[in-house]
Structure 1
Amino acid sequence: MAIGVKALGFSFVAHFLGIAGAAMVLVWCIGFRGGLAWEASNKSLIFNIHPVLMLIGLIIIGGQAIMSYKSLPLNKPEKKLIHLVLHAIALILGIIGIYTAFKYHNESSIANLYSLHSWLGIGVIILYGIQALQNMAQRPSL
């Protein structure tokens, strides 16, 4: 049962919250944790990439993919293509984010997959990938 409320208005609130969340995580990682780096003698800078990419990829861009399907005033094939591309970008950023956590652990001689957080994260990225593959299989020809 629909309540008759347009999705576009809610998407503005979600956009604002996503931008605010990304800004806060970037301020935290850059301002309070020393920055971001792919290669560094301070290995914590490598790890700082992980929360940034996970938030921007899976939460913000993944959320955009979900909202785009309902809020864009386009035809169904175009909406599905945008939905698919945004989910693919989110999945790629999520995989890179998990890779940075493994890279940090390996370079810091810390065991991998020792916490519930890490196991749940691997599970989430696997399920997200399965869902993305399912979306690709259902994509109509344009």
Structure 2
Amino acid sequence: MHNDYPYEYEICADMDQIGESTEHRNLEGFNILFYVTEAIGGLLILLVIIWTAHFKGGFAWTSDPDLEFNWHPLLMTVGLVFLYANGMLIYRSQRTVRKRRLKLIHGGIMIFTVLLTVIALVAVFDSHNLKTPPIPNMYSLHSWVGLTTIILFCCQWLAGLVSFLYPMIQPSLRAAYLPVHVYFGTAAFIGTIASCLMGLTEKAFFSIRNPSYDKFPAEGVLVNTIGLTLIIFGGLTVYLVSQARYKRFPQPEDDVLLTGRSK
């Protein structure tokens, strides 16, 4: 029996090496794609800042409805695009962090996204209602898709909060809900990108007058560039989230939730 122990240790060591090599092989290309995605996301925010601050006159609150509107595209880009994407990627970009902490970070990012989204919605409704004469609300496809996406996002956040952080939920139920959470989370993110593209086009048609949008003014070129950057950022994010080979490997402590219980 004594001679069996070294053999068992060798098997365990070999299994650890196989697991490490498999994870390393699965992660090939992840880091470079992730950092490229982050750089494009940073560029996207910078382009929106240039557009709203330089071409649209900057920011204000209710004292100037036109300038109050500018908070809407900026905060939506920061919150419901960039932070949302990072919230989805946190489990893959921070794979060495304990899952309990990742859950809290993920939830925190999402609730901050909700906060920015609410402020952005207040800004756009104020900018319509305080205008002289007032601008109608919720008539465009952009507003319909956008509000639907926000409702889906908030439902996702609440369902995830209960399913993954409430300690009394059975692990089997968590496991069953996880693919649903991932699918609708990705669907809401795609809806966000689509809504942003619609909003950019709508704003460009309504506000670029002199020279007109079809004359390729600098603002129009910038708006189109923002749209292309949105598509690239969204495409890379969905790719990184959807690739099974980039999935975080389970760790022994993953089953221990907030109560300290395991399966």
Residue 92 (1) aligns with residue 126 (2): no
Partner residue of 1:55? 77
Aligned to 2:180: none
- What's 1:111 paired with? 136
Deviation of the 1:110 alpha carbon: 0.8
Q: Structure 1 unaligned segments of length 5 or more: list them.
A: none
CA distance in 2, matches of 1:40, 1:14: 37
- Map 1:8-27; keep pairs closer than 5 Å: 8-27=31-50
Contact 1:62 1:86 in 2 (8 A): yes
**Counterpart residue number, 1:32:** 55
TM-score by length of 1: 0.91
Cα deviation, 1:73-132, whole Å, max 9, x if unaligned, reads 201111111111101111211121112111111101111101111111110110000000
Instruction: Output one character per residue of 1:22-57: Cα deviation in whole Å (capped at 9) or x when no partner.
Output: 00000000011100111333x210100000000000
2:181 maps to none
**How far off its partner does 1:9 sit?**
3.1
Aligned-pair CA distance for 1:8: 3.5
Cα distance, 1:8–1:80 mapped onto 2, change above 3 Å? farther
Amino acid at match of 1:118: S
SS of residue matched to 1:37: coil
Equivalent runs, 1:70-81 vs 2, <5 Å:
70-72=92-94, 73-81=96-104
Partner of 1:137: 162
Residues of 2 paired with 1:103 and 1:127: CA distance? 23
Q: Which residue of 2 aligns with 1:102?
A: 125
TM-score (normalised: structure 2): 0.51
| Cross-structure match for 2:88 | 66
Partner Cα distance (2:45, 2:63) in 1: 23
1:95/1:125 contact within 8 Å kept: no
* 135 and 8 in structure 1: CA distance in 2 versus 1, 3 angstrom threshold: farther
Number of residue pairs the alignment of both structures matches? 140
In the alignment, the residues of structure 2 paired with residue 92 and residue 123 of structure 1 have an alpha-carbon distance, to the nearest angstrom, of 17
Question: 2:91 and 2:105 mapped to 1: Cα distance?
Answer: 8
Larger Rg: 2
Q: Which residue of 1 aligns with 2:26?
A: 4
Contact kept? 1:57, 1:91, Cα under 8 Å: yes
Q: Give, in angstroms, the shift of residue 70 of structure 1.
A: 1.2
Question: After the TM superposition, which of the residue ranges 44-53 and 8-17 deviates more from structure 2?
Answer: 8-17
Runs of 4 or more, structure 1, over 6 Å off, are none
1:104, 1:20 → 2: CA distance? 27
